[in-house]
Amino acid sequence: MKSNVSSLKSKKIALSHPCLSAEAHNKFSRIHIPIAPKCNIKCRYCVRKYDCVNESRPGVTSRVLTVDEALFRLRLLAERDSTLRVIGVAGPGDALANEETFEFFRSVKKEFCDMVLCVSTNGLLLPEKLDELVDAGVDSITITINTLRPSTANKIYSFAIKNNKTYSQEEAAELIVASQKEGLIKAVSKGCLVKINTVLMPGINSSEVEEISQFVSSCGAYTQNIIGLIPQGEMSQIVKPSCHDIYIARSAAQKYMPQMSHCTKCRSDAFGKLGEDKDIEYEALNALFGIEYCENL
């Protein structure tokens, strides 16, 4: 299937972005900087805990960093990994609900001009924050879109917070769906390379995956990543989709949209190549120890 992205810049980004290219995922590294703890929606399947030992899933981080801490660690780790190509903010909350995200990217843009800057979001604030993201140098955006129907969104999300107002039930569902659609269209029009994450939830949105794929493809998204639900939170009783379930969903979606099949459900503090994650704190301490050791010889 041909890509919806035609510019040379976008093709270059895709070829070096481990999440967007099956060829790149074992060649290049990425780093997720955990500086965004606040979230503006409540997904019924989401449980965000810190200090989860040996746990790899979205929303998890050993600790939340300040912008200064994040920049310090990034400098150390970039020197140690020549394959690093992507710098992203993927939580542990929603990147766009935290001003630190924008402060961080503005600094990174000046210092790491050759890196791909990437952000993951639920899309609620994307229409309003897109210009600020682009100005800060972000050119790759992942949006989680689990449904196009407010009636289904009402089963997935408990509430949404926007402009200091809390929306619940049907209001939240309609707001989230509308914002995600608008944000996707605007992001593509701005030249951003957009990946769509879709969490496959049996009995909730499993019959809608093909519909989602067709819509996001028509809007110009680059690829889609169908992720199996991790049963937890309010959805802890739902049976986890099998590998066959995911295969069936991807096969149906493939008619409209290139599918990502090498996702490792990265933590919010992931570092290294996909499937070979290193601990940010441990690696940064090793780098710092080496510097201090050499200086004291």
Asked whether residue 109 is domain-assigned, the answer is: yes
Q: What is the span of the domain harbouring residue 59?
A: 8-295
pTM of the model: 0.83
Question: Could you list the pLDDT tens digit for every one of the 297 residues in the chain?
Answer: 344 444 555 666 666 666 666 665 566 778 888 899 999 999 998 876 644 433 344 556 667 889 999 998 888 888 877 788 889 898 888 999 999 999 999 999 988 878 889 999 999 999 999 999 999 999 899 999 999 999 999 999 999 999 999 999 899 999 999 999 999 999 999 999 999 999 999 999 999 999 999 999 999 999 899 999 988 889 989 999 999 999 999 999 999 988 986 444 566 677 665 556 555 554 555 555 454 434 444
Give the dihedral sign, CA 40/42/45/46.
positive
Asked whether residue 1 is domain-assigned, the answer is: no
Asked whether residue 156 is domain-assigned, the answer is: yes
Which CATH number do you get for residue 190?
A: 3.20.20.70
Asked whether residue 3 is domain-assigned, the answer is: no
State how many domains the chain has: 1
Q: Are 42 and 97 in contact (CB under 8 A)?
A: no
Asked whether residue 2 is domain-assigned, the answer is: no
User: Residue 50: CB partners within 8 Å, gap ≥ 6?
Assistant: 60, 61, 62, 63, 64, 92
Asked whether residue 101 is domain-assigned, the answer is: yes
Asked whether residue 92 is domain-assigned, the answer is: yes
φ, ψ at 225 (rounded to 5°): -120, 105
C-alpha to C-alpha distance for 214 and 236, rounded to whole angstroms: 29
Q: Are 267 and 60 in contact (CB under 8 A)?
A: yes
Asked whether residue 61 is domain-assigned, the answer is: yes
φ, ψ at 95 (rounded to 5°): -55, -40
